Each structure stands twice: as C-alpha cells, then as structure tokens.
Structure 1
Amino acid sequence: MKYTNQMNHFIDEQFELLPNLLAEDIQVEEGGHEYKKIVFVGSGSSLNAARISERYFAATSSAQCFFLSPNQYLPQSAGLGRHLLVAISQTGTSIATIDSIIAAKKRAVPTILISATKDTRKREVADQFIDLYCEDEKIGPKTVGFSATVVRLIQLAMAFNTSGETRARNKAELLQIVHALPVIKKNTEAWIETHQEWKQATYITVASDEEFKATIDEGALKLLETLMVPVPAYEIGEFTHGPHRLIKAGSHHIFIGSGQTSRLTQKVAEYAKEQQANILCFTLEEGDIDLTPITSSFGVELAISIVFQVLANELALLRGFNPDEKVHQNFFKFIGTKD
C-alpha cells in the first residue's frame, strides 16, 4: 500500500518540475570558463548533489573541482587562489553558505548561488543566481530540491565548452531519465509491498561502485533522516575491508551493482544472501527494482536517488513515523546555523 504525505508530494513534484527546468538553458556568465578551479560549497543534500555533478564537469571543463562544506571553505578560501565559487542552498537558509559567498566576493572571487529562495537580498548576494523554482520543503528530508539541484548542476556543467549538438543529445538523455521516474517510483513501491520486513531494520548498509558513491551517500542520508537508524554508505571495495562484518542473519543491505566493480558487488550481495541477510540489489539493467526503461547513464543518479527517496518515505511510514514531522523543533535555532 502506498502512503500519501507531504514528503510523497514533494517526490511527485519532481515529475513536473524537472522537465520544466530542462526547458531552460543555463549559461555561465562571461569569464566563467577561464577558471581552472571550481569550488562547490554546500551542506547535506546540497553537497551530495555537487559531488554527483563532478563527472559531468570533468567531461566539459578542465577545471579542478573541490567540494567543501561552508565551515571548510571559510577558513581555506584565501589559500585556494583564483577560483569560481558555486554555492548551493536549496532554501537559502544556510547562514554559513551565504557567509561563504560574502567572503568570496570580498576577495573578488566570482560567485554563483543555486537556490529556490524567494528572499531578494539573498538572490542578489552572488554574481549569478540560478533558480531551482521548487517549493520550500519545510520538512527535513529534501527530495525535489535535491533532484532540482542535480539537474541545475548538470546544466551548468553542460554550459562549459559543450557544443550545441552535444548539449541537445545530453538533454534528450536526461529527459529520458526524468520521464522514467514515475515508473521507477511505482516499481519501488511494489518492492516495498512485498518486503515490509525492512521496516524492522536496526541498521542498513549501502554499497556501490565508486562512480555512484556520492549518490548512495545521499540515499543513505535519506534513510537515516526518516528511519533514524545508522545507514553507512561504502564504496564496494571498502565494504569488503571491515564493514562486511555487519552481514549477519536478519541484517539489511543495499547493493548497486553497476560500474567497473559490478561483478564484485554482485558476489558480495550473493554472499550476504547466503547468510540469510535481507538484500536489495539492483543494477541499471536488472535487479530487485526495475530501473527500465533507462537506456543511458547520463543523469542516472536521479533514477537511483528516487529509489532511496521512496524507500525512506514508505518504510518510515510503515514504522509509524511520518517524515513530515520535525524531530527537533528548535535544533537549528538553538545551534544558530539556519535563519
């Protein structure tokens, strides 16, 4: 049974929003192509989205990419030399992210802010503002904001030295992924319907090829936020050096078996299954959750992410917790990191 709540609404919002974002090209303002360093600053899902975009920037730009939290960037910015700052804050409420932009501008560092904030002052704090156009997800787990950020970052990457023909092809491939998301959501819900024992998980491990490490970091974060149990994420080679000891009868493990180490991932999943562990294993081509009709890996991170978003929401509801609810109402006000 599929449950409906606010988080589910935000998951569904992606199906309409993402094609609209792709209808609008992103441009790098004059001089942006000249920088040999691009520094991405964000926290949580924003930083995960930035790290996912690394392979797209590597394909279109010779610039070195750095991924930092605001608390890392602020003391290090002076030593980074000439760079382009791409700051990400879906809601625009991260005080430290805005402070990072202000600090960069004092050093004449060009800045881009990617956000959905409606606050005019914040929209104008950076040299260039890229709008996510998504609703304000006032609940904790971010879904549509995360996916919109991934799309915007891929578009920004394509703005670097990409021919019109290549850009059109990439956009078509990305649209194909986006149009497949509703089907993948239904496939994930169907899997949950027959695997409700997962609501009893006391911990879940997630492992994949290095290519998808940032994607499973985000997926693990979603599960942790809603199930409120430990959910560590590992590159599959690292999983075999210690974390594999977490495999036991009744434990819960998710494996994504695509990439250069797909055979290793599948062997580890087979072993875990022999130990009577609960396993969710899928690839881009086949597996426990069908990701078809995907024919390209361009933007496939969006498909994998929606699997985790649906798992996080539906399993939490089965446990009796609505992810819409705040766990610590005054947390950010108390620690002073968001306004």
Structure 2
Amino acid sequence: MAGTMTDYITEQPRVLRSILGDRKENTLRFTEEWKRGSPDRLYLVASGTSNNAAAMAVPFMEELLGTEVRVAPPTLLPRVYGNSPFALFVSQGGNSNNTISAIEQWKGIHSLALTGQKECRINEIHPHVSIGCGPETAGPKTKGYTATVMTLYLLALETALALGRISGEEYRSYIGVLETAVENMEGNIRRCETWLSENLESLKKIEKCFVVARTTAFPVAQEGALKILETMLVPAAAYEFEEYLHGPICALDDRMAGIYLLPESGDGAFNRMNRLVEFHRGISPLVFTAGSLGGDKRDCGLALSGRWYTEPFELILPCQIMGAKLPAVLGIEDNGSKVYKALDSALNIKFAGGI
C-alpha cells in the first residue's frame, strides 16, 4: 500500500538513525573512490528536492573534504574544471531521465550515483551508493530530502576521517550533533503538528508565500517553498534573508504570507530577522516563524542543536507538515500529484516504471 506524506515524515527519525548506524558500510565505496582519484572538484548533479538537499550539503562537504563543491541540475551541466573532477549523480528514485542523460554525457568523468532505491534504472547502468531511505511513493518527497542530506554529510565525514583531515575527536563531535538533531525530530514533529492545529484557520488562507532564511539555511527555505507550492498549489518563493530585502520585499501586501526560518537567538542575524517579522506582521496576519523561540502562537518553537548543519532536520519540518496536512483540509489532496503524473506521461520525465 502506498504511504502518505505524513507516514514518511513520521518515518524520518527511524530512517536517519538507520543511516547513521550503517554509515561505515554505506560510505565505504565513495571513500575508496575518493582516495583513488584524489579529486580537486566535486560536482553534485541533482533535480528538485535532491537538488535542494545537495545545495544544503555543499558548505559542509567543502569544509570536510577541502575542495570546491558545486551543485547543478542535470539539464544545466557546467563546464568541468580541475585536474581530477569527481561527479555524484543524486536521484532518490533512481529513474530520472534527465539524470540518466547526464550520466551518459559525463561518461569520461570519475563518478558515482547516489540513489534511494535498490531497483532502479540508474543502478542498472552506473556504480552507485545507497541513500538508505527506502521507497517513498508519495509525490512530494520528505524523508528522501533529510536522508539525502544526511548521507551526503556522512560521505564527507567518513572520507575526511579516512584522509586524516579531521581527528577522531572532531569526527565524534560531528556525529554526536547529528544524533542529537535526529533524537529531537520526533518531538519537533509533534510541535509542528500542534502549531499547525493552532494556526489552521490562518494557514488555510495562504494564497501566496515567501519562505525566508539566512545564509546557510537558505537551501532549507528553497525546499520549504517547493513543499508548499507542490502540495498547496499556491505560488511560493524562497529567498536568503539579506537578498530578500533587495527587491522581493516590495511585493508585501495584506495577502502575502511569510514563513521565516529563524536562527538561534545567539546568531548575529536573529534580532534583525525578528524586526523584519514584526514589520511583515504589521502588513499581513499570515506571517509565521520556525525556530527556537516564540512568544506568538504563529511561532513554531523547535528544539535546535545550535549548529547550522542540522537545520535541514529541524527548520524544514513546519513546511513538510503543512504540505502533508493542508491539502486535505483545502479539498485539493493529491491534485498536484495528478498533474505531475499527467505531465510525466506527456513529457517522459521518469524512466518507464519508475517512481
């Protein structure tokens, strides 16, 4: 039986614990390939939610691997630089025709695929590493997003440890923070469900929306906007906080909703972002936040690790819950997936038989 978005959201803590527990085995192939090739560039090729997950992992992977990391969709492959480039083709379902085409185009580049399904077209044609999330039949992806981010982090962590770029103590510290974020997820999911219930009447009124986050959390905002757009079927756009102030903010009116993904109170941008929240609330009542603090029922208070790299396991949850719950309330449940399936039939987006 096909699972629902809510099923997969609830499954995330278990899936992430499993990925952490199996990290040595699941990352070994990547680490061996990296050591063999000594890459000086890493290209992450991915679409949609996989692209957002890859973008979130970029600064973490650059820090750990000590090399430039670039993300690109398979239809916009960049010029390849470096003496020893390495490509990682990321596809949760493993059946994206565009990604299959990109693999063919970059045949001469040292590469692996990163997939979430044991049986898929990409695994048939290319060496691969597992994301470890298992099937996700719901159209809008949730557990695949967090699982992909976690797997990319662990690929970098295990390889950095093997290369001596980080000490055992540093490695254990990173793993401890990731474990804490995962342990917080079940409580954070419940907090999001309570927040949605208390704000249901307001959230139902969203007709258009900005999702805003500062610096490293911007890719989380991109994924949050995608979840809202593809489930609630309303325009949703993501912006980095400071970039948001340079033009997009001019579109604020009483119908423009805002979801602000706030850093912890010790972050230098915290007070400035809160002033923006209050400014927006002076224009529209449909302004919500996610973060560690909140004195308004529109603020979704979450348990945060205090480290920027766990934000995709924390700040994404309110938008995931909105995408899972609100379409049924609005009477549009599965409408987005129906459009996508019709489009897939017309444009051949996925390899035949894939999900």
TM-score normalised by structure 2 residue count: 0.86
Out of 7, 12, 15, the position equivalent to 2:5 is 7
Partner residue in 2 for 1:42? 46
Q: Following the alignment from structure 1 to structure 2, what is the Cα–Cα distance between the partners of residues 122 and 275?
A: 49
Relative to structure 1, is the Cα distance of residues 81 and 203 closer, same or farther in structure 2, using a 3 angstrom cutoff? farther
Q: Secondary structure at the match of 2:289?
A: strand
Q: Is the 8 A contact 2:217 2:308 kept in 1?
A: no
- The aligned counterpart of 2:87 is 85
Partner of 2:315: 304
Q: Is the 8 A contact 2:75 2:98 kept in 1?
A: yes
Pair 58,67 (structure 1): closer, same or farther in 2 beyond 3 Å: same
1:1-80 mapped onto 2 (5 Å cutoff):
6-25=4-23, 26-27=27-28, 28-33=30-35, 34-73=38-77, 76=78
Could you list the per-position Cα deviations for residues 95-124 of structure 1 after superposition, in whole angstroms to 9, with x for gaps in the alignment? 12122223323x1x2212111223366325
In the alignment, is residue 185 of structure 1 matched against residue 189 of structure 2?
yes
Q: 1:234 aligns with which of 239, 248, 252?
A: 239
Which secondary structure does the structure 2 equivalent of 1:159 belong to? helix
The answer to whether the aligner puts 1:249 opposite 2:266 as a matched pair is: no
Distance in 2 separating the partners of 1:32 and 1:104:
17
Q: Which residue identity does 1:247 align to in structure 2? A: L
Aligned residue for 1:299, secondary structure, equals: helix
**In the alignment, what sits opposite 1:135?**
134
Deviation string 1:151-177 (CA, Å, 9 cap, x unpaired) is: 100101112323333222211211111
TM-superposed deviation, 1:20? 0.6
- Is the 1:209–1:262 Cα contact (8 Å) retained in structure 2? no
Alpha-carbon distance, 1:79 to partner: 6.1
What secondary structure sits across from 1:158 in the alignment?
helix
SS in 1 for 2:258: strand
- The answer as to 2:96 corresponding to 1:94 is yes
Q: Would the aligned equivalents of 1:256 and 1:265 in 2 still touch at CA under 8 Å?
A: no
Secondary structure class of the residue paired with 2:126: coil
**Would the alpha carbon gap of residues 110 and 292 (structure 1) be closer, same or farther in structure 2, given more than 3 Å must change?**
same
Distance 1:325 1:218, change over 3 A: closer
| 1:313 maps onto 2:324 in alignment | yes
- Quickly say closer, same or farther: Cα 1:253–1:167, change in 2 above 3 A: same
Q: Does 1:281 align with 2:289?
A: yes
Change (3 A) 1:324 1:183: farther
Matched with 1:219 is: 224
Displacement of 1:140 in angstroms is 1.6
Summarize the alignment of residues 163-202 of structure 1 with structure 2, pairs less than 5 Å apart: 163-196=167-200, 197-202=202-207
Percent identity (aligned):
22
How big is the shift at 1:311?
1.6
Deviations 1:249-303 (CA, angstroms, capped at 9, x unpaired): 2431111222543232111101111224321123345561121163544422211
Whole-angstrom distance in 1 between the partners of 2:155 and 2:293? 28
Aligned residue in 1 for 2:349: 337
Mapping for residues 254-273 of structure 1, pairs under 5 Å: 254-258=259-263, 259-273=267-281
Instruction: Please give the alpha-carbon distance, in whole angstroms, between the structure 2 residues aligned to 1:38 and 1:295.
Output: 28
Structure 1 pair 187–327 and aligned structure 2 pair: CA distance change class (3 A): same
- Matched to 1:181, the amino acid is M
> What is the number of residues matched between the two proteins?
330
The answer to whether the Cα contact below 8 Å between 1:77 and 1:104 also exists between their aligned partners in 2 is no
Aligned partner of residue 311 in structure 1, secondary structure: helix
CA distance in 2: counterparts of 1:68 and 1:208, whole angstroms = 21
- Select the residue among 196, 205, 208 that pairs with 1:203: 208
What residue in structure 1 maps to residue 164 of structure 2?
none
1:326 matched to which residue of 2?
Answer: 337
**C-alpha distance in structure 1 between counterparts of 2:121 and 2:323, whole Å:** 34
Aligned equivalents of 2:13, 2:311: Cα separation in 1? 15
Q: Counterpart of 2:204 in 1: which secondary structure?
A: helix
The structure-2 alpha-carbon separation of the partners of 1:15 and 1:95, relative to structure 1 and needing over 3 Å to count, comes to same
Asked if the contact 1:188/1:289 (under 8 Å) is kept, the reply is yes
SS of the residue corresponding to residue 161 of structure 1 reads helix
Q: What is the letter of the counterpart of residue 7 of structure 1? A: M
Conserved in 2, the CA contact under 8 Å of 1:247 and 1:277? no
Counterpart of 2:320 in structure 1: which amino acid? Q
Partner SS state of residue 32, structure 2 = coil
Measure how far apart 1:237 and its partner are.
Answer: 1.4
Q: Which amino acid aligns with 1:318?
A: V
Q: Using the alignment, how far apart are the partners of 2:294 and 2:176 within structure 1?
A: 22
Report the Cα offset of residue 325 of structure 1. Answer: 6.6
Q: Distance in 1 between matches of 2:305 and 2:75?
A: 38
8 Å Cα contact 2:5-2:324 kept in structure 1: yes
